[in-house]
Amino acid sequence: MPSAPTPQSPAPTPERRLPGGPVLQDSVTQAISAAFFEELASVGYARLSLETVAKRAGAGKAAIYRRWPSKLEMTVALISAVAVDAPETVDTGTLRGDVRAFLADLANGLSHRLPSKIIPDLLAESTRNPELAQALLAAVRDPRRAKATGLLERAVERGELPTQVDRELALDFLAGPLYWRLAVLHAPTSPDYLDRLTDKLLAAFAA
């Protein structure tokens, strides 16, 4: 098993050979990905230049276009690789444990140097760029939501939540207060805060 990818080193793409074309080297793909995330955090989507990303990666622009046909498709592919493929909703055996692990993972992601700049930028850009917004909702929001639903379904199977638990609201509660605190208010969290948040969430789910 490869270790969990981070924004600095996204999931290695398996070597691909285009029909009759060259092998796409993993090391180049990873250098481009790392350069892309640094650039995106630094200048934002609107001003991101694929030429600058290529230079930063020590590659040519063609190396990017051999992998992704456009800035939009590159962004969606690389963001979903770290935001969807990477995080696992761990099965800790209890709803409380699963919720606490989910919150720790989310707090960690939102506090990280790169996502803490990239996420707000992509949300702002999405209000001006409907094509990007749609692509990110389909490639990031929907699969992430499906994964988090798994956490609730496991609790239903264990008998910790009633079958008719309001999944829609539970998912908004799972991420909403912590996102609000970290990404909107820029207020601190602590292990104690996450413990108290876990207690409140379990009470809200059960209500």
Whole-angstrom CA distances from 39 to 35, 55, 128 are 6, 11, 20
Smaller CB distance to a copy of itself: residue 51 or 199? 199
Torsion of the alpha carbons at 93, 153, 143 and 26, rounded to the nearest 10: 30
**Could you say which of 16, 117, 147, 167 contacts a copy of itself (CB under 8 A)?**
117
User: Do residues 166 and 155 touch, judged by C-beta distance below 8 A?
Assistant: no
Point out which span in 18-26, 62-70, 77-85, 161-169 binds a copy of itself (CB under 8 A). 161-169
| Sign, CA torsion 6/7/8/12 | positive
Q: Is 183 in the site for a copy of itself (CB under 8 A)?
A: yes
Q: Is 124 in the site for a copy of itself (CB under 8 A)?
A: yes
Q: Is 138 in the site for a copy of itself (CB under 8 A)?
A: no
Whose tokens are 């993993």? That residue is 26
Smaller CB distance to a copy of itself: residue 12 or 44? 44
**Could you say which of 27, 127, 163, 164 contacts a copy of itself (CB under 8 A)?**
127
Please tell me the number of Cα atoms within 13 Å of 204 on its side-chain side.
18
Alpha-carbon Rg for the chain, nearest whole angstrom, is: 19
The residue among 197, 6, 17 whose CA lies nearest residue 112 is 6
Q: Tell me the number of residues near a copy of itself by CB under 8 A.
A: 41
Residue 29 C-beta: closest distance to a copy of itself, Å: 27
Q: Is 105 in the site for a copy of itself (CB under 8 A)?
A: no
Q: Is 123 in the site for a copy of itself (CB under 8 A)?
A: yes
Q: Is 65 in the site for a copy of itself (CB under 8 A)?
A: no
DSSP label at residue 138: I
Q: What are the start-end ranges of the E strands in the chain?
A: 16-17, 23-24
Q: Is 177 in the site for a copy of itself (CB under 8 A)?
A: yes
Q: Is 120 in the site for a copy of itself (CB under 8 A)?
A: yes
| Sign, CA torsion 185/83/193/116 | negative
Q: Is 190 in the site for a copy of itself (CB under 8 A)?
A: no
Where along the sequence are the contacts to a copy of itself (CB under 8 A)? 44, 116-117, 120-121, 123-128, 133, 137, 141, 145, 166, 168-169, 172-173, 175-181, 183-186, 193, 196-197, 199-201, 203-204, 206-207
